[in-house]
Structure 1
Amino acid sequence: MNGDLVLEMSRGDLRDDEFESRSWTDHSFDAMSGDENNQEQPPKKRKKKKMRKYHRHTSYQIQELESFFKECPHPNEKQRLELGSKLDLESKQIKFWFQNRRTQMKTQLERHENVILRQENEKLRVENGFLKDAMRSPVCKNCGGEVVPGEVSYEQQQLRIENAKLKEELDRICALANRFIGGSISLEQPSNGGIIGSQNLPLGGNGFNVSMSESSMFMTLAIEAMDELVKLAELENPLWIKCSKSEKESMNHDEYRSIHPGFVAQGSRETGLVLISSLDLVETLMNTSKWVEMFECIVSVASTVEVISNGGDGSRNGSLLLMEAEFQVMSPLVPIKEVKFLRYCKQHGDGFWAVVDVSYDINRGNENVTSYGGFKRLPSGCIIQDLGNGCSKVTWIEHSEYKESHIHSLYKTLLSSSVGLGATKWLATLQRQCESLTTLLSSQDHTGLSLAGTKSILKLAQRMKLNYYSGITASSSIHKWEKLLAENVGQETRLLTRKSLEPSGVVLSAATSLWLTVTQQRLFEFLCDGKCRNQWDILSDGASMENMLLVPKGQRQGRCVSLLRAAGKEHNESSMLILQETWNDASGALVVYAPVDVLSMNNVMTGGDSDKVALLPSGFSISPDVSSSWSGQIDTNESKGCLLTVGFQILVKSQASAKLNMESVETVNNLIACTIHKIKASLNLPT
């Protein structure tokens, strides 16, 4: 390559996913090496001219340039100036070096792809020869004899022609998909002697079948979604607006509509460090049960409909799943979002992974959000970079469109921000949960309990939270609720009932949401303060509460599971304790509690079965102020207010077959109203 060859390349010349999947340090490259063509000119035409001075980069300069190239192959002017100052090079030299490095990388990739294409062509040529030989002398599968042409019906001939066309299309799609995902997707032979016709082709999974045409559409959609996710994750993407007060980013909807006309979408992006390795995080995202457990406050229920591809080489690289899930917001004023989507995982390099979700509708011709049940997930997911020592850098992107008609006006701004179901909510939840696990593993000796006792009390607290979520959002993931209509209850309050075996009877759940002129942090601290408990909690019986046991679930104060009792009373003087779990992060806060009897908790703390403990959880879910024009301006410490959801569950009948009466409804309705009034009065808020 001539030294004076400088080609300017845009990002469109080389995709980032291809870029990162190759080794960055295979070759050292010196762009200004002085290898210019210095062939002697004929003596008659030689003219005296000023000699150009060339500079050969030092080993240190090349090493630093290569290192920066791995992180950013397209440096801007500011970055070039900083590099030049560090390496004693001019900005123009830096620019030329990067241009030539990208040119060399593209050439290497093209050579590599040409080799792969030649191998694929040779393989197809051989397979084509085998197919031609088989067609010349067909053999009956049942008897092993030669097939008589006259025995083949017209319908069978048409099916074989159609089958050949479908196989050719599938081979092409599989070859393309394997190049992009690094998986091992292959065509399985059907059991009917080679005639596929309109039958479904089994591709693994849990008993469902995906047709060949659907499989092709799934793979095409997944690859397109991955490409868009990678583009959205680019640092200098004009689609993103960054707030001057924080690092939060919101999508520039005008810019998005200019690129994707016809879509009205909400998008957010956030980057942060997470205490989990890249492989463990990938496994969590690709395992449905682990995913639901990690994001329990967002995902109420989920299932894997079909495993389209298991990936290759025993890893999740190239894994493609068809999934269903319900997304929830902790308020009775926000309906559950049901979504069917594809989840696609791809490794882009050593320690670099990407997992993308995209909604899928069987009626692909209709892209209207209504056909997706009112909620459509555009390419969303995360880019994961392993940093070593069990830590990863995660860039989370959430991108969706939905109908606002069924959402209460109080929550419309929240859902259009990054904290409703946006990137801040997902990333903050991931960070908190991973920190919780790390803290639990390192603090077993500080709880005062045995390992079995700690696990048992955490399992009980987990069930308490899930029961609370279910009562707030009306999700059927834990219990089957029935909606109850009552004339004397406000529109912002939702009543639900269910039959319960433990405790036995009819459980009434009541929940409402409202706006309070107090910050999320201030309200959370007040609700967690045991000395102030008697100001709003009727279970305290007028006494302040103290911690009898505390299991920390994070470094931040207030992230814990605790066992409370009335202050000043001995352990044997009270037959009732309060189990409570609390957490607080950038996307919201939670205070959930339930009364438990002493005997049951003694059994749990010694490692006994927590499933036998009856729970009727109540509590508060808090969302920060999102009244600003876009999500990047959210600050939980400086906001003017917050959204508070209050939820109670009470046992109103001791017999499961008994019916509710209006007295029970009035009781729980008054309980909510009285609690809200006491909180406002204690914080000097307008009533």
Structure 2
Amino acid sequence: MEGHGEMGLFQDNFDPSMVVRMRDDGYESRSGSDNVEGASGDDQDAGDDQRQKKKKYHRHTPQQIQELEAFFKECPHPDEKQRLELSRRLGLETKQIKFWFQNRRTQMKTQLERHDHIILKQEYEKLKNDNDALRTAMANPVCNGCGGPAIPGQISFDEHQLRIENARLKDELNRICSLANKFLGRPISSLATPIPIPSSNSSTLDLVVGRNGIGGSPLPMGLDLGNGFLTASSAMPLSKPQMGLMDHEAPINRSMLVNIALTAMDELIKMAQTNSPLWIKSFDGGKEILNLEEYSRTFSPCIGTKPAGFVTEATRDTGMVMINSLTLVDALMDEAQWKQMFPCTIARVATIDLISTGMAGIRNGALHVMHAELQVLSPLVPVRQLKFLRFCKQQAEGVWAVVDVSLDISQESTKANPLVSCRRLPSGFVVQDMSNGYSKVTWVEHSEYDESSIHPLYRPFINAGMGFGAQRWVATLQRQCEFLAILMPSSLPKEEPTGLNLAGRTSMLQLAQRMTDNFCSGICASTARKWDTLRVGNVGEDVRVMTRKNLDDPGEPPGIVLSAATSVWMPVAQQRLFDFLRDDRLRSEWDILSTGRPIQEMIHIAKGYKHENCVSLLRGSPTNANESSMLILQETWTDASGTLVVYAPVDIPSINVVMAGGDSAYVALLPSGFAILPDERSSNSNGGTVKAGENGTDGGGCLLTVGFQILLDSQPTAKLTVESVETVNNLISCTIQNIKAALKLT
């Protein structure tokens, strides 16, 4: 029988009259949509007995397939009652329903077997090659201690020592592989292609970047910023990771997750490559808008239907980044590197399960189950908590794709479980290497979320995809890669013009990163840090006040730390407000700490090719003999997604240690600052249009977030008082009023 070789893979109870047609690619699958049965003998002529019986194909309709696929995701093994219900609803025979589910389960099983077969085949080839090499080596006598020639005098002393060290490392590798077997539940041979083992003291990741049309060159990312700037090795972990945010969850049906990942990858590729009619240009010719009707006709839901009350947000953006495809994939498939590549977007991330670590020691085929908290720097926008699959696949030479898709939440109550207020449909990026050392990244973001939890001021901003959309991911990626290119050894002077050497520069960048991370945690109520939210009657409902008691963190002063933040609409263009806030000469007009003090920039550390993207150390000169100099550490950056100004006062002895290259972890910081986001509506908070020149504006508008952190009391027994809350609330109000007065805004 034709196709008999594939029939052998099916289950024993498979009906021979059913034919399942499958694609050769083990990563692609489709449900059986045809039923085949032989023609009745009554319809044949007696004289035509030698003629082969004709086959009659019954093709299921797309609606029937969609219903069957949706039910299969819920229950792969329906009982007799469920099959009868499906038969009645779809107009099919129960026998057809039964055979369809048998074939669908067989397809999924075959996919997994083929995937495992590919991996085993690669390991077998490697073992075979190594075995041949060992046979050749055994023809020559070797030293048992070092593995070198047994005849003395043929190798040098140094080479002998290196061979001994190599033998010791091989023994260590075998020991680690043996331990890893207990965690992974499958054998890992040290003779096969080894999974790279992250070094305990490794603090670098080589990114290949190119500039000015020159080919890529290795870029060390070894700055230990905070807990390590992209310190986590790009190697795949051997042991099962911590369960992270939700370690109480039930075991995961891995075969079903593989099927969801394959479907999501196919959807991402099509959405990244297809233009009209799937994507429609907006009226101004700028952003692309997803045609929801065309989308529903093109794709079948891979994670269930949209929950009631949810709205859709879909964006796509393309940009050139100074990084190669393989390095970018490695960075984003590692949770620590992913978070630090998008520091103000990702509040927290954890890998809770590894379905697959990839093939042949690379990320191709890697499938992870992850939790993440995504944030917009405003207390009026809740943090998005997601549980999703992340799947990586190489599409061609130099072309990779990484897709994220939420696990199905359609049966969970959004009111009972706040973690399901958002779900991520197939989203991610496709990256392609370019000839000039750059890469072309096409990013797709597609989400459904509960709009009622977002403040009305930010609903148009979020719905337009400006908060969590593709433009923000691409803009942040471009800025971070530009920063990494600046850190290349060829770009770094041995000594700054101010006398700051490389060690001092590194320590200053560490301190600035920790300052910005602390500022973001005080703005957004993520679980990255434990804050207690307060409700005080005389504080506006748009002001979030949180408190935490610090006892043992050397990076913060001991005592009660109070954080307060709010967001307002400002009738002024984003760039104008950003330039005003970072101008040292105008700082006294809004900063209470520097009132009456002339401010001067002592140190300027570039974090990009734009002058605004930098870390600075500012000094406020004393106004009289009884005052001491005031030092302020400040970080500013701007890109297409928004701008940021974060600062914190620092004491002179501590900052001198940091500038000399000392440990910055013990410098206490209480950051404050501003996050400015674009607003394309060009309207005031009451809905009226703002014209150029009206109320001192230039015809634009922006969303301003103001945040302060202050120390209430340094005593361990200190208690929060209403007066303290009123003080920080007044500080926010006065700062906003001072900014409006300085810019002549009413």
1:613-652 equivalences in 2 (<5 Å): 613-627=667-681, 640-652=700-712
Counterpart residue identity of residue 461, structure 1: A
Find the partner of 2:266 among 227, 232, 235: 227
Contact 2:390 2:403 in 1 (8 A): yes
Question: In 2, are the aligned partners of 1:239 and 1:252 still within 8 Å (CA)?
Answer: yes
Distance 1:389 1:608, change over 3 A: farther
Matches within 5 A, 1:461-540: 461-477=512-528, 479-501=529-551, 502-540=556-594
Question: Structure 1 residues 237, 308: closer, same or farther in 2, change over 3 A?
Answer: farther
Which of 320, 329, 332 aligns to 2:379? It is: 332
User: Which residue is 2:725 aligned to?
Assistant: 665
Deviates more, 1:506-515 or 1:211-220: 211-220
Task: Give the aligned partner of residue 644 of structure 2.
Answer: 590
Label 1:180 to 1:530 Cα distance change in 2 as closer, same or farther (>3 A). farther
Larger fraction in helix: 1
1:348 aligns to what SS in structure 2?
strand
Name the counterpart of 1:408: 455
Contact 1:250 1:418 in 2 (8 A): no
Contact 2:622/2:628, CA 8 A, preserved across alignment: no
Of 476, 501, 510, the match for 1:459: 510
- Separation (CA, whole Å) in 2 of partners of 1:370 and 1:298: 26
1:173 to 72, 91, 111: 111
Partner of 1:315: 362
Contact 2:414 2:420 in 1 (8 A): no
Q: 1:658 to 1:368 in 2, by over 3 A?
A: closer
SS at structure 2 position matched to 1:233: helix
Contact kept, 8 Å, 2:530 with 2:548, in 1: the verdict is yes
Confirm or deny that 1:275 pairs with 2:322: yes
For 1:543, what is the secondary structure of its paired residue?
coil
How far did 1:255 drift? Answer: 3.3
Cα–Cα, structure 1 residues 471 and 341, in superposed 2: closer, same or farther, change >3 Å? Answer: same
- CA contact 2:331–2:338 (8 Å) conserved in 1: yes
Given that 2:620 and 2:630 are in contact with CA atoms closer than 8 Å, whether structure 1 keeps it comes out as no
Please report how far the alpha carbon of residue 253 of structure 1 lies from its aligned counterpart in structure 2 after TM superposition: 3.2
Change (3 A) 1:15 1:166: closer
CA distance in 1, matches of 2:455, 2:549: 29
Distance 1:642 1:364, change over 3 A: closer
Report 1:345-424 matches (<5 A).
345-361=392-408, 373-424=420-471
Select between 367-376 and 450-459 the one with higher mean Cα deviation.
367-376
Q: Which amino acid counterpart does residue 227 of structure 1 have in structure 2? A: D
Cα distance in structure 1, aligned partners of 2:742 and 2:605: 28
- Asked whether the equivalents of residues 618 and 647 of structure 1 are also in contact (C-alpha less than 8 Å), the reply is yes
CA distance in 2 between counterparts of 1:343 and 1:606 reads 42
Matches within 5 A, 1:96-111: none
Q: Report the secondary structure of 1:443's partner residue.
A: coil
The structural deviation recorded for 1:373 is 1.1
Q: Give the C-alpha shift of residue 657 in structure 1.
A: 2.6
- CA distance in 2 between counterparts of 1:411 and 1:184 reads 52
Stretches of structure 1 lacking an aligned partner (at least 5 in a row): 1-12, 20-163, 187-199, 630-636
Superposed CA deviations along residues 31-56 of structure 1, whole A, max 9, x for unmatched, are xxxxxxxxxxxxxxxxxxxxxxxxxx
Per the alignment, in what secondary structure is the counterpart of residue 454 of structure 2? coil
Report the equivalent of 2:478: 431
What is the DSSP-based 3-state SS (H/G/I as helix, E as strand, rest coil) of the residue aligned with 1:669?
A: helix
Q: Does 1:206 align with 2:206?
A: no
Name the counterpart of 1:295.
342
Matched AA of 1:532:
L
**Aligned mates of 2:104, 2:271 — CA distance in 1:** 34
* Separation in structure 1 between the aligned mates of residue 583 and residue 477 of structure 2, nearest angstrom: 26
Q: Is the 8 A contact 2:708 2:728 kept in 1?
A: yes
Superposition pairs of residues 433-452 of structure 1, within 5 angstroms: 433-441=480-488, 442-445=491-494, 447=496, 448-452=499-503
Distance 1:496 1:172, change over 3 A: same
Q: 1:311-365 deviations in whole A, cap 9, x for unaligned? A: 111110000000001011101111111100000000001100000000014x676
Cα deviation for residue 640 of structure 1 reads: 1.8
Deviations 1:375-424 (A, max 9, x none): 00000000000114542100011000000111100111111123210001
**Deviations along 1:86-113, whole A, 9 cap, x unmatched?**
xxxxxxxxxxxxxxxxxxxxxxxxxxxx
Q: Following TM superposition, by how much is the alpha carbon of 1:546 offset from its aligned partner in structure 2, in angstroms?
A: 1.7
- One-letter code aligned to 1:685: L
Contact 1:182–1:317 (8 Å) recurs in 2: no
Letter of the 1:459 partner, please give it: Q
Alpha-carbon distance change, 239 to 569 in structure 1, aligned in 2, over 3 angstroms: farther
Secondary structure of 1:395's match?
Answer: strand
Q: CA deviation at 1:181?
A: 11
Q: Partners of 1:267 and 1:14 in 2: how far apart?
A: 31
Report if aligned partners of 2:242, 2:351 keep a CA contact under 8 Å in 1: no
1:239 paired with 2:290, answer no
Give the TM-score of the pair, scaled to structure 1.
0.68
Deviation at 1:500, TM superposition (A): 1.7
CA distance in 2, matches of 1:496, 1:660: 11
Q: Which amino acid aligns with 1:523?
A: L
Residues in 2 aligned to 1:299 and 1:492: alpha-carbon distance in whole angstroms: 23
CA RMSD of aligned residues (A): 3.6
TM-score (norm. length: structure 2): 0.63
- 2: CA distance, partners of 1:418 / 1:246: 16
Q: Deviations over 1:97-140 (max 9, x none)?
A: xxxxxxxxxxxxxxxxxxxxxxxxxxxxxxxxxxxxxxxxxxxx
Residues 638, 271 of structure 1: alpha-carbon distance in 2 compared, 3 angstrom cutoff: farther
- Equivalent-residue separation in structure 2 for 1:400 and 1:169 (angstroms): 29
Looking at structure 1, the residues matched to 118 and 261 of structure 2 have their Cα atoms a distance apart, in angstroms, of 10
Q: CA deviation at 1:480?
A: 1.1
- Taking the TM superposition and a 5 Å limit, the aligned residue runs for 1:154-173 are 171-173=109-111
Deviations 1:637-675 (A, max 9, x none): 987200000000000111133111111111101110000
Distance 1:512 1:281 in 2: 35
Structure 2 residue aligned with 1:147: none
Deviations along 1:478-527, whole A, 9 cap, x unmatched?
Answer: x3100111111000001000112330110100000000011111110110
Gaps of 5+ in 2: 1-21, 29-101, 125-182, 187-238, 684-696
Q: CA deviation at 1:452?
A: 1.1
> What amino acid does structure 2 have at the position aligned with 1:473?
C
Q: CA deviation at 1:242?
A: 2.3
Say whether the 8 Å CA contact 1:369–1:401 is kept in structure 2: no
2:737 corresponds in structure 1 to 677
Q: In 1, distance between residues paired with 2:601 and 2:523?
A: 27
Q: CA deviation at 1:684?
A: 1.0
Q: Which residue of 1 aligns with 2:80?
A: none
In structure 2, distance between residues paired with 1:672 and 1:513: 10
Question: Cα offset for 1:541?
Answer: 2.8
Amino acid at match of 1:671: L
The letter of the residue matching 1:309 is S
Matched-pair contact (CA < 8 Å) for 1:328–1:335: yes
1:211–1:641 CA distance, 2 compared to 1 (3 A): closer
- Determine what percentage of the aligned residue pairs are the same residue: 51
SS at match of 1:431: helix
Q: Which residue of 2 aligns with 1:545?
A: 599
CA distance 1:268–1:568, change in 2 (3 Å): same
Counterpart CA distance in 1 for 2:663 and 2:318 is 40
